[in-house]
Chain A
Amino acid sequence: MSKLNARIPEGPLAQKWTNYKNHQKLVNPSNKRKLDVIIVGTGLAGASAAASLGEMGFNVKNFTIQDSPRRAHSIAAQGGINAAKNYPNDGDSVFRLFYDTIKGGDYRAREANVHRLAEVSNDIIDQCVAQGVPFAREYGGLLDNRSFGGAQVSRTFYAKGQTGQQLLLGAYQALMRQVNLGTVTLYTRTELVDIVIVDGKARGIITRDLVTGELQRHFGHAVILATGGYGNTFFLSTNAMGSNGSAAIKAYHKGAMFANPCMAQIHPTCIPVHGESQSKLTLMSESLRNDGRIWVPKKKEDAEAIRAGKLKPTQIAEEDRDYYLERRYPAFGNLVPRDVASRAAKERCDAGFGVGTGLAVYLDFKSSIERLGQKVIEERYGNLFQMYEKIVDENPYETPMMIYPAIHYTMGGIWVDYELQTTIPGLFAAGEANFSDHGANRLGASALMQGLADGYFVLPYTIQNYLADDIATKRMTTNEPEFVEAEKAVKARFEKLMSIKGKRSVDSLHKELGLVMWDFVGMGRNKEGLQIAVEKIAAIKKEFWSNVRIPGDITGMNIELEKASRLADFIEIGDLMARDALNREESCGGHFREEYQTPEGEALRQDDKFAYVSCWEFKGSDVTPELHKEELVYESVKMVQRNYK
């Protein structure tokens, strides 16, 4: 257990962050200039951290795989960002946001981190408004709020259906301002391929230039990974095509623990799969559940007729529709948390009531349009409706949308302590890349909140506390043996990939992995299936390393080589996810073990055995990783069965 110290500050929950800030070590301005900080990723967490640390005077190096920091996948977040402002006077508070997040996460998140998140949530909104983020407003000129799943207050700030875009552009612009001032150096189309450890501390990274194929060494007094989640392990997900878990795996190989890998969120409202050539899934914002009602036909014969194309949804009479979320969860209705809504959709489809291909349910705006008028709905969701129509070729103002759950977000990630530091000193993880705040299920509009909290308001404090002890450490040259060795190992790995010269494309192997993940490590998991998954993933790993085909050269741009390198890491993550899911003999949040459910089919936690964070330590390739446990102690909330009825 000695390896895992969450370093939670003393004092009552609501005082911990204040106490921490009052007593942490600081770095004076003249020393900040001498300290290099590497930040990998330019999404909400990465860009906000890079901008903030640059403003403070640190020498920042910021890396992104895309051509511009503005492309990071935070940009695709649609619905909004939570904060405990209580502007609508509906009873919100820091404690309530904290409590809803802990409860929504099914009591598997760390209390102290979540409380801090709720505390800084209001500062984020202030910051973004000051940057010129055009949030939605009321006619009186003040900010508008809407409601999201898992909450009974309206605390979500939004900018049309493009909130992630506007927040990211705010952070990106703050970042570009620092680039202009010379405090941040930007490296685009550059991918992290290893982390360099010197005397037990993270001191740099090895990168690959995605245009030239060249390997490069970079020194930093500290390294921050803000590299997002690993949902693309499933091949089909709402993540961007380039989103990957490779930085997390590199950290894991170097001694950082991988926490709760099995905790993946399945989002209930995505556009259903159209066929085999499908490359990704498109999310329809959760905010649509504010005004859309989810249903399937009450009668099986109606569902069958719809699937056969003999009946249209608009022809189904009101009394023949089963609004199953409103039926099962009258208190929260269509706004139950994502895990609950996803499982309920799967339950109806598995029972034979699905529409479309059979794996879809309706999200219907008819009653809202009747109540509010088409113009209001258009104002709220216009861009989403347009997107749906372009993809599906149906007009959602006239006929209900079809939706189905898809992999969306990973709550698990690199283990970090209260300071967002991993088990490797000097290596930090922020945003979706870490595991810390969402437990077993993330509430809607909380990812943006966490990314910006970590980057704007947490790391600028905690990293100083670490770097204050490092002010005497001189910049190292990257000719140190540790850098040379790391680069050599990376080069050998790429050469090995190129030398396989097999027959299978990277995508064909990735699709195979994705199907195994979806079938056995997806919405419903059980012991037998997970054991099959472990075996199948091992077989895919073997097939990959003996039969992958990567055309082209190791130098210059080689997109297949990039993808192959990432897939090798996804295969490892898939294995970790399956093992973790096998170990966790309970159901909680997004992790649903079929053996553990209430008679009504709700998730059944086993708090006496599993009230801990599973932390996996790498023990070598093809060696079973070692499990460590961070016990979760709740001082301010009582663990109860979640109830949204």
Chain B
Amino acid sequence: MEKTINLTLRVWRQNGPKDKGRFETYKVNKISTDSSFLEMLDILNEQLINENKVPVAFDHDCREGICGMCSLYINGRPHGPDDDVTTCQLHMRKFKDGQTITIEPWRSAAFPVIHDLIVDRQAFDKIIAAGGYVSVNTGGVPDANAIPIPKADADESMDSASCIGCGACVAACKNGSAMLFVSAKVSQLALLPQGRVEGARRAKAMVAKMDELGFGNCTNTGACEVECPKNISLSNIARLNREFLSAKLKD
């Protein structure tokens, strides 16, 4: 029952961070609709190699939707036309025969392009380094069951913790804000007694680092929540705002 389609691809090519970059157009034929989007790009690359051309560079790794490495702005949407998935979980059955697909890297000031479709997302690591943790060393911690945590809190914390750090929220935001990413981590830890202890310090440090790194302001358009492949909720941003305000008021 295999179905195949033919496609025209407009792909962003950029030979290094200093190159201006441009769109190149390629044709790929007989793509199985059971293939994933990245497998379709593999086929394009195999074709380019056979023509002795340099293949398209794109970030990807686990191809199971969990590592957060894949990105891609596909026909104007981060992670493409399907809902609640990363690009690696997007399948070609979502496209029509003869369709033209435009493929770009994340476009955001805080995520500069490194090569073709690959961007630098180290700004996210820097935000985590500024305070996205519980400050405990290895060893000398209490028994895991010493502090009971209401199931509802643990479950909500887990929902916030599902963020994969892909950056789709930033790419989707017209302001290039990282609020959904930051708020998910702040919420996860604020909901647990272990993280509550340094909650105020964490919220301030992470927000300060986010501002410093050139991410834009949040104007509550909600585009981040719509495009998030892991359904991270906007309510996290509300919680972060509360955490941040109460921390500032205590200063």
* Chain A residues in the interface with B (C-beta under 8 A): 48, 51-52, 55, 66-73, 75-76, 85, 87, 123, 125-132, 134-143, 159-160, 162, 164-166, 169, 172-174, 176-177, 179-180, 186, 188, 211, 240-242, 274-275, 277-280, 282-283, 309, 386-387, 390-391, 393, 456-457, 460, 505, 507-508, 549, 551-552, 556-557, 559-560
Contact = CB atoms under 8 A, between A and B. Distances in A.
B47 to A, nearest CB: 10
B62 interface: yes
B16 A556 contact: yes
A137 B151 contact: yes
B146 to A, nearest CB: 8
B66 A127 contact: no
Contact of A71 (B2, B68, B157): B68
Contacts of B161: 134, 159, 166, 169
B125 to A, nearest CB: 5
B151 A141 contact: yes
B180 interface: no
Given A143-B145, A172-B128, A177-B133, A557 B67 contact: no
B189 interface: yes
A454 to B, nearest CB: 12
Contacts of B93: 393
A54 B96 CA distance: 52
Contacts of B143: 126
A240 B59 CA distance: 12
Nearest to B156: A134
A279 B63 contact: yes
A129 B118 CA distance: 35
A197 B11 CA distance: 45
Contacts of A131: 133-134, 136, 194
B249 to A, nearest CB: 24
B229 to A, nearest CB: 10
B61 interface: yes
A380 to B, nearest CB: 12
16 contacts: A52-B138, A67-B121, A68-B124, A71-B69, A72-B67, A76-B62, A126-B141, A129-B194, A131-B134, A132-B134, A136-B154, A137-B154, A174-B136, A456-B138, A457-B139, A551-B55
A135 B154 contact: yes
Given A280-B63, A460-B138, A556-B16, A132 B36 contact: no
Contacts of A128: 144
Contacts of A66: 61, 67, 69
A387 B65 contact: yes
A228 to B, nearest CB: 12
Contacts of A176: 125, 128-129, 132-133
B162 to A, nearest CB: 7
Given A143-B144, A390-B89, A240 B63 contact: yes
B7 interface: no
A242 B61 contact: yes
Interface residues of B, number: 82
A73 B63 CA distance: 10
A188 B122 contact: yes
B42 interface: yes
Contacts of A240: 61-63, 67
A507 B42 contact: yes
Nearest to B48: A551
B236 to A, nearest CB: 14
A160 B194 contact: no
A505 B122 contact: no
A274 B35 contact: yes
B114 A551 contact: no
B7 to A, nearest CB: 14
A52 B61 CA distance: 26
A68 B121 contact: yes
B135 A557 contact: no
B137 interface: yes
A457 B42 CA distance: 41
A141 B149 contact: yes
A279 B151 contact: no
Contact of B114 (A71, A125, A282, A557): A557
A64 B42 CA distance: 23
B115 interface: yes
A457 B138 CA distance: 8
Given A134-B154, A386-B84, 20 more contacts: A66-B69, A70-B125, A75-B62, A75-B66, A127-B138, A127-B139, A129-B141, A131-B134, A132-B133, A143-B144, A166-B158, A177-B133, A177-B135, A179-B129, A277-B42, A279-B39, A393-B91, A505-B46, A507-B46, A560-B55
B9 to A, nearest CB: 15
A112 B43 CA distance: 48
B192 A132 contact: yes
Nearest to A160: B158
Nearest to A133: B161
Nearest to A51: B138
Interface in B36-72: 36, 38-40, 42-43, 46, 48-50, 52-55, 57, 59-69
